Amino acid sequence: MIVNKNSRVKLIHTNDPFTDMKNNVYIGTVQDIKLVNFPNDSFTQIWVKWDNGSLFAIVPETGDLYEVIS
């Protein structure tokens, strides 16, 4: 799934145990995309400004699912 800065996305699922963004439909705008590198691993953070005002990163490598809607 290709996503770019300023894309509109819908959060389908997150595995983050520290957020309450699991129980509703969330739509927002991608603010930044970062590749985080470690010596033996890397992952992508898709930083989204959600329409409810919160800022939350989608991390696809952890099982977070999203849909690009525009």
Q: What is the pLDDT of residue 1?
A: 64
Cβ burial of 4 (10 Å; 0-12, 13-18, 19+) is exposed
Asked if residue 37 has pLDDT above 90, the reply is: yes
Mean pLDDT value across the chain = 92
Type of residue found at 62: T
Domain layout of the chain by residue ranges: 8-68
Q: Report CA-CA distances (Å) from 68 to 28, 36, 37, 42.
A: 10, 22, 24, 22
Sheet of 26-38, strand order: 55-58, 41-50, 26-38, 8-13, 65-68
Could you tell me the pTM of the whole model? 0.88
